[in-house]
Amino acid sequence: MALNARIIGATALVAAGVLAAGAAGQLPAFGVVDRSQLATPSSAPQSLVCPGPAIAVGADPTNANALTATDTPTRVVGTVGGARTTTVVLGRGEVKGGAAPRAVGAPAASRSGALAAAQLDQVTVGDAAGLIATSCTAPQSDVWFAAGATTTGRTTVLTLANASSVDAQVGVRVWTENGPVDSGSFSQLVVPAKSRKAVSLAGVAPSAGGTVVRVTSTGGRVGVALEQRTVRGLESGGLDMTGPTAAPALQQVVAGVRVLGAAAVAQASRADDYADLQTVVRVLLPGSDAADVSITATPDGGGQAVTLGRRVTGGVVTDFPVTGLADGTYTVRVSAKLPVVVGVRSAVIGDVGGSLTPDATSTGTPVGSGTSSSSAFGTDAGLVGGSGPVNTSTGSASSGSSANANAAASATSTARGIDFAWFAAASPLSATSAVAVVNAPAPVLSIVNPGAARAVRLSGAVSRTVQVPAKGAVAVPVTRGMLVLHGASGLLAAVSYAGSDAVAGYPVTASDQEARAIRIQP
């Protein structure tokens, strides 16, 4: 009896224990409280850095390494709210001549609206001539450029302008078609406060057919621009100064890629040393792993897209030529399985003997008329770095029907008015974004919509409402001045300019520089 009672008791105990422990284990967690705080400090005053004039390396005959500038860029500066802006002249650094870079400022965007600025520099003197239209960018501590080359006749100069009151320690990392460059000497550049420093990439990456540059800064943030000038023999190959492209991401969109005089460019590019006139998409997977990269160039306003895909080795700069594009404004979308950095270059070639004219009569450029059906795909001719087959998605590979006959002739001609531009990948906009449009030929605002169809209202220099189709893009002719995009949240946009002998462009940045709400955990 006692035995039974004990066994019953023990069994009950064990059973109760197992059941209770098992049941307790299935309870939901209790007592959880989110104690994080969302804190929003007041916004700092807005500040943009305009990089200043184009800088030439070795223009001084006595010093091959001297950096010189001659021009004084003009600026378009404004805020959405029309508040007064301030301009601070920064130091020139070791660059001789020319205007100094400027830092433009305005009160916080919450009080005066977003600040936007762009500068225009039409270089006519020196060994290279061309149109430079660059947006003034907010100082940042980590920026990427998918642009530049340092082969013979190509000079690439980084302009680092530090508008803050502390020195900036800047590290520059360069990738080329041969992989990453060990740029030890560029790892600790010091940009003094309120000053500028310009460095030539030839120092670290000589004879690079294509470069991708990452600039990181500690201490003060810097406004960085990358300038490339090209001289083929005695002929100016044009020059361009571009702002940062979007940081590595799986999807990149380069808006407002202008193609003008495509046939002439295609013909000219066949000549020796003229291959880099081709329209190319520069791609870098910053890591060491290879990945498939897919590139699509779509004419704004509709039309047949050009798609090409390829496996890209990690850490190697690869230029994808996209030949056979008709004149027009294109949106280039690049997607990859790994984060990718992207830039697009296009070139124009003017009349023989023609000179750069500020008000080039190119307003008749058909905007949004990308109806050309003759989509064709580049050969490997201008490809740097890559290897392997080119995958084409559509159409015939019947490109380059024009003979090579003209190539030699083209190569010998001088001062034909060649210019090129690097287009940077755009970042999503905030609801109200501003962009400054400079006084350059045929300014076009391209708006890319990654989502559902919607309307964007423009105000400022141009007042109208633009319907942007779903997953599509539109190109809107605009005029000089401040342009405000309302209801643009999540869209991407770029401003591009193109004349017969001038091309330039920059993305619209979302930098309203408002302080974000930060989640602070205990």
- Name which of residues 495 to 514 contact other proteins (CB under 8 A): 513
Cα 83 to Cα 315: distance, rounded to the nearest angstrom: 45
Beta strand residue intervals within 136-193, DSSP E = 142-146, 154-162, 168-176, 179-181, 189-191
Residues of this chain, 129-158, that bind other proteins according to CB under 8 A = 139-142
1 binds other proteins (CB under 8 A): no
Provide the minimum distance between the beta carbon of 242 and other proteins in the complex, in angstroms, as a whole number.
Answer: 21
Closer by beta carbon to other proteins, 25 or else 61: 25
Stretch that binds other proteins, among 1-9, 226-234, 326-334, 381-389 (CB under 8 A): 1-9
Residue 7: phi, psi to the nearest 5? -65, -40
> Taking CB under 8 A as the rule, does residue 22 contact other proteins?
yes
SS (H, E, C) 449-504: CCCCCEEEEEEECCCEEEEECCCCEEEEECCCEEEEEECCCCCEEEEEEEECCEEE
The binder of other proteins chosen from 61, 62, 84, 165 (CB under 8 A): 165
What single string gives the DSSP state of each residue in 239-296?
EEEE-PBPPSEEEEEEEEEEE-SHHHHHHHTTSTT-GGGS-EEEEE-SSSS-EEEEEE
Does the footprint of other proteins cover residue 108 (CB under 8 A)?
yes
Q: Return the residue of 166, 408, 453, 470 that touches other proteins, per CB under 8 A.
A: 166
Instruction: Determine which residue in the list 16, 89, 250, 381 makes contact with other proteins, applying CB under 8 A.
Output: 16
C-beta closer to other proteins: residue 62 or 521: 521
**39 is a contact residue toward other proteins (CB under 8 A):** yes
Distances, alpha carbon 341 to alpha carbons 258, 275, 507, 508, 513, in Å: 20, 22, 15, 17, 23
Decide if residue 290 touches other proteins (CB under 8 A).
Answer: no
Stretch that binds other proteins, among 38-46, 116-124, 361-369, 391-399 (CB under 8 A): 38-46
Residue type (1 letter), 520: I
Q: What tokens does 362 get?
A: 């190119």
Whether the Cβ atoms of residue 325 and residue 297 lie closer than 8 Å to each other? yes
The type of residue at 147 is A
Residue 2 binding other proteins, by CB under 8 A:
yes
Q: Using CB under 8 A as the criterion, what x/- string covers residues 54-93 for binding other proteins? A: ----------------------------------------
**Residue list 414-443, contact with other proteins (CB under 8 A):** none
Q: Which residues bind other proteins (CB under 8 A)?
A: 2-3, 6-7, 9-11, 13-14, 16-17, 20-22, 24-37, 39-45, 108, 139-142, 164-166, 168-169, 217-221, 513, 515-522
